[in-house]
Amino acid sequence: MPERIAALRARAAAAAAAAGRNADSVTLLAVSKGQPAQLIRAAAAEGLRDIGESYLAEALGKMEALRDLPLTWHFIGRLQANKTRQVAEHFAWVHGVDRLKIAERLAAQRPYHAPALNVCIQVNLAGEASKGGVPAAEAPDLAAAVASLPRLALRGLMCIPPEEADPGRQRAWFAGLRQLRDTLNAGGMSLDTLSMGMSGDFEGAIREGATIVRIGTALFGPRGS
Ligand SMILES: *Cc1c(COP(=O)(O)O)cnc(C)c1O
């Protein structure tokens, strides 16, 4: 694990340098779905603090087991309306907001003593039916509506683009998300986050401006079931 983390950090730093960016402008989000709590503890010992989980019940169990650690928990899975309360209560970030109804519930259910819940709007750039996310054309209206909600901090955009064999084509999807963020910022928003890039494509995502890369298998190895 220490070697893997060091290697990932070196690759991320090299990609950032190639884009003229500081290495510390990219957060390595450790995606631990399907992995036991001890592995998260080992990653935390190497300085990783941001942890991504996709399944609520699984995540809550690990939070309980790791409550002695100063971790920042990110919900990166598909969020159903009946799960929003516990997500609003237990997570610091939600990456996959793609419906106003979900955002409204999160805003209403975020505890008053907690800081604002950080959210990203998921954009489905390729219109893939199998994936969540709002079509790019609808992202501006959703972003404006979410930004106006109390208790939430709209931080930026997230995507899971199609897998492309050609790295240049892969990067084009990430560039598309960055351009959408730039358009929204030109229109008066101040979005500082692009959550994009996973184990197989994070370097291209960093080259295109990713500020959070979500890394699972390259960090923890294959997932159990
Ligand atoms: C599982 C998952 C990841 C991590 O995928 P790897 O290919 O294992 O790095 C990233 N983002 C989301 C939304 C995921 O569900």
**How far does residue 203's CA lie from ligand 1's centre (Å)?**
14
> Do the domain assignments include residue 113?
yes
E strand map for 92-219:
93-97, 117-122, 152-158, 193-195, 212-215
> Do the domain assignments include residue 169?
yes
Using most ligand atoms within 8 A of CB, pick from 32, 35, 76 the residue to mutate for ligand 1.
76
Q: Which residues line ligand 1 (CB under 6 A)?
A: 31, 33, 54, 76, 160, 198-200, 214-218
Are the beta carbons of 222 and 12 closer than 8 angstroms?
no
What is the gyration radius of the CA atoms in the chain, in angstroms? 17
| CATH code where residue 189 lies | 3.20.20.10
Are the beta carbons of 95 and 120 closer than 8 angstroms?
yes
Using most ligand atoms within 8 A of CB, pick from 56, 196, 214 the residue to mutate for ligand 1.
214
User: Which residues constitute the domain of residue 197?
Assistant: 2-220
Query: What gap in Å lies between CA 17 and CA 206, rounded to an integer?
Result: 10
**How far does residue 213's CA lie from ligand 1's centre (Å)?**
9
Total tally of structural domains belonging to the chain: 1
> Do the domain assignments include residue 185?
yes
Q: What is the pLDDT along the chain (225 residues), one digit of tens a residue?
A: 889 999 999 999 999 999 999 999 999 999 999 999 999 999 999 999 999 999 999 999 999 999 999 999 999 999 999 999 999 999 999 999 999 999 999 999 999 999 999 999 999 999 999 999 999 999 999 999 999 999 999 999 999 999 999 999 999 999 999 999 999 999 999 999 999 999 999 999 999 999 999 999 999 999 975
Task: Count the alpha carbons within 13 Å of 33 in the hemisphere toward its beta carbon.
Answer: 13
* pLDDT per residue as tens digits for the range 139-198: 999 999 999 999 999 999 999 999 999 999 999 999 999 999 999 999 999 999 999 999
**How far does residue 55's CA lie from ligand 1's centre (Å)?**
12
Whole-number pLDDT of residue 224: 78
**How far does residue 202's CA lie from ligand 1's centre (Å)?**
11
Residue 46: phi and psi, rounded to 5, are -90, 5
Whole-number pLDDT of residue 165: 93
Residues 6+ apart with CB under 8 A from 103: 97, 119, 142, 145, 146, 149, 152
Whole-number pLDDT of residue 225: 56
Query: What gap in Å lies between CA 215 and CA 86, rounded to an integer?
Result: 24
> Do the domain assignments include residue 58?
yes
Whole-number pLDDT of residue 203: 97
Closest Cα to atom 6, ligand 1: which residue?
216
Considering Cα of 118, then 115, then 64, then 101, what sign does the dihedral take?
negative
> Do the domain assignments include residue 114?
yes
Residues 6+ apart with CB under 8 A from 50: 27, 28, 29, 30, 71, 72, 74, 212
Residue 21 in tokens: 């960016």
> Do the domain assignments include residue 225?
no
